[in-house]
């Protein structure tokens, strides 16, 4: 009996220790932090835009675009979507891309240029997938033709 009681006390003490340990752990890091914050996001966006510029499938679309402003908007958009301390002040995705007749293939090309930039900057697969998971739902507001 006393042996059983002893085991019970050990179990309670262990359970308490496990709870205390769990509470002492910091909350999981945001995607923003895991990407490396704003400096790393800025580097990835610079690479992304230069990949797009070198991509004959879609580069022509950006012929009259203010590239420094586009980059700044993309940095804020990604930073904010990833849980960082930025706010996106550009136009919404539907208004921005309205009338461009962007097709599925154009969207796929742009995603390829982005994943290329992420890989070039050694962003791990998990973070790449998380970021694409945040941007993917925007497709319905951007693509107008099959």
Question: How many angstroms separate the first and last alpha carbons of the chain?
Answer: 74
Query: Contact between 106 and ligand HEM (CB under 6 A)?
Result: yes
Query: Contact between 29 and ligand HEM (CB under 6 A)?
Result: no
DSSP secondary structure code for residue 98 in this structure: T
Q: Segment contacting ligand HEM (CB under 6 A): 6-14, 16-24, 69-77, 115-123?
A: 69-77
SS3 127: helix
Query: Contact between 70 and ligand HEM (CB under 6 A)?
Result: yes
Taking the least distance from each CB to ligand HEM, the nearer of 36 and 90 is 90
Query: Contact between 131 and ligand HEM (CB under 6 A)?
Result: no
Residues written for the chain: 146
Query: Contact between 58 and ligand HEM (CB under 6 A)?
Result: yes
Query: Contact between 83 and ligand HEM (CB under 6 A)?
Result: no
Taking the least distance from each CB to ligand HEM, the nearer of 95 and 125 is 95
Element (H, E) at 111: helix 104-120
Separation in Å, CA 102 to CA 34, 58, 62, 97, 107: 31, 10, 12, 8, 7
CB of 125 to ligand HEM, least distance (A): 19
User: How far apart are alpha carbons 107 and 87 in whole angstroms?
Assistant: 24
SS3 85: coil
Q: Which residues bind ligand HEM (CB under 6 A)?
A: 58, 61-62, 65, 69-70, 73-74, 77, 90-91, 96-97, 102, 106-107, 110, 135, 138, 142
């Amino acid at each position: 009996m006393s042996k059983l009681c002893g085991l019970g006390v050990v179990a309670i003490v262990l359970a308490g220790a496990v709870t205390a340990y769990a509470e002492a752990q910091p909350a999981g890091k945001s995607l923003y932090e895991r990407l490396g914050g704003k400096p790393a996001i800025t580097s990835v966006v610079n690479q992304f835009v230069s990949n797009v510029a070198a991509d004959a499938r879609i580069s022509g679309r950006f012929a009259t675009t203010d590239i420094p402003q586009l980059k700044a908007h993309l940095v804020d958009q990604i930073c904010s979507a990833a849980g960082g301390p930025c706010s996106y002040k550009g136009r919404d995705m539907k208004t921005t891309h309205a009338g461009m007749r962007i097709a599925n293939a154009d969207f796929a090309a742009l995603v390829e240029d982005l994943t290329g930039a992420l890989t070039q900057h050694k962003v791990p697969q998990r973070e790449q997938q998380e970021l694409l998971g945040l941007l993917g739902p925007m497709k319905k507001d951007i693509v107008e033709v099959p």
